[in-house]
Structure 1
Amino acid sequence: MTNLSEYLPYAFALIIAIPFLVLLRQFVFTYIRLKEQEIKLLTVKSNSGNKTQSYERMTLFMDRIKPSNLIQRFDKELAVHEFIFLTEKSINEEFDYNSSQQLFITKNSWENIVDAKNAIIDLLHKTYEAMNTNITLDEFKTIFIMNYMEGEDYIAKTIDDLRREILIIA
């Protein structure tokens, strides 16, 4: 039988090492848990930033399709039908460019944005259809704005809804 005193230094080292290893393990697991929380927090902040940016971009889009802003686009030398074509094309291109923003905007707000866009395009066409074919572009623009002002201001309503929602999110 071997002498137990030979193993005493090993036993002493083991008794000292076990609490150290337990504390090291606890530290590593706590560190990993904190890093996971940090990643989750950064993800939430990133999503919040995406939502804020989406609301900003769609508010800008709504502002750009206001008739008062639309009539300032393009050359004044255009025929009325050319102005309508270019304006509708511009609205649809900008809308298509921003269509990915619907991922971060509520369904109701997105539907309001789509409805407002379609209403502006419809108003362009209805104004043109109700006009005399010999009308100038300036006269068309004036009547277009007057027709918009006579109806419901759905663009301002949609922008207000977007503002309310972003305040809730932020």
Structure 2
Amino acid sequence: MTNFSGYLPYAFALIIAIPFLVLLRQFVFTYIRLKEQEIRLLTVKSNSENKTQAYERMTLFLERIKPSNLVQRFNKDLASHEFIFLTEKTINEEFEYNSSQQLYVTKNSWQNIVDSKNAVIDLLHKTYDGLNGNANLEEFKTIFIMNYMENEDYISTTIEDLRREILIIA
């Protein structure tokens, strides 16, 4: 017969340690699960903030390209064709700067924004062509705004669509 009395302290330590190890394992897994949930919540919050910022930036872009705001941008000493060149350049640069926002807005909204930008640039050129380049800058600006007001206010429509979408997201 073997004497088990030498193993008794080890068996006693093992019996006491097993519940602590089980509790430690449970604590670690619970901690990991809570951290994963926290990361998911932060990711969702971050995505929501990115979408909100995208809608804000694109709304600001659309406000800036409204003809009533464009005509206030440059010096009155410019010729009409210089104004058109600088305005078109400014619109395209700002659009390119904001082009990454298409990741956060819907495909339909992005297309409406692109269409609005192109329509304003097209209106600049059509107004100039309609005047045969014979108007001073103030006359050109006035006719440009009047031509915009005669048509559908596509910029305000696009902004309103963005507003509706952001309410759905928020």
Same fold (TM over 0.5): yes
Matched, 1:160 2:156: no
Higher mean C-alpha deviation, range 97-106 or range 2-11 = 2-11
Residue aligning to 1:71: 71
Q: Which residue of 1 aligns with 2:41?
A: 41
TM-superposed deviation, 1:2: 3.4
Asked if the contact 2:81–2:133 (Cα under 8 Å) also holds between the matched residues in 1, the reply is: no
Instruction: State the match for 2:98 in structure 1.
Output: 98
* Identical aligned residues as a percent: 83
Q: What letter matches 1:34 in structure 2? A: L
Classify the secondary structure of the residue corresponding to 1:5: coil
Q: Secondary structure at the match of 1:78?
A: coil
Structure-2 separation of matches of 1:87 and 1:106: 27
CA-based RMSD: 0.9
Counterparts of 1:135 and 1:112, CA distance in 2: 31
Which position in structure 1 is the counterpart of 2:85? 85
Q: 2:94 corresponds to which letter in structure 1?
A: E
What is the CA deviation profile of residues 110-169 of structure 1, one whole-angstrom value per residue up to 9, with x for unaligned ones? 000000000000000001101143311101100100000000000000000111111111
**Length-normalised TM-score, structure 1:** 0.97
| Aligned twin of 2:61 | 61
Distance 1:88 1:4 in 2: 93
Q: Deviations over 1:42-97 (max 9, x none)?
A: 11111111111100000000000000000001110000000001000000000000
1:109 is matched by which residue type in structure 2? S
**In 1: Cα distance, 2:23 partner to 2:169 partner:** 41
Unaligned runs of 5+ in 1: none
User: In structure 2, what is the equivalent of residue 10 of structure 1?
Assistant: 10
Equivalences, count: 170
- Residues of 1 paired with 2:4 and 2:165: CA distance? 76
Amino acid at match of 1:154: Y
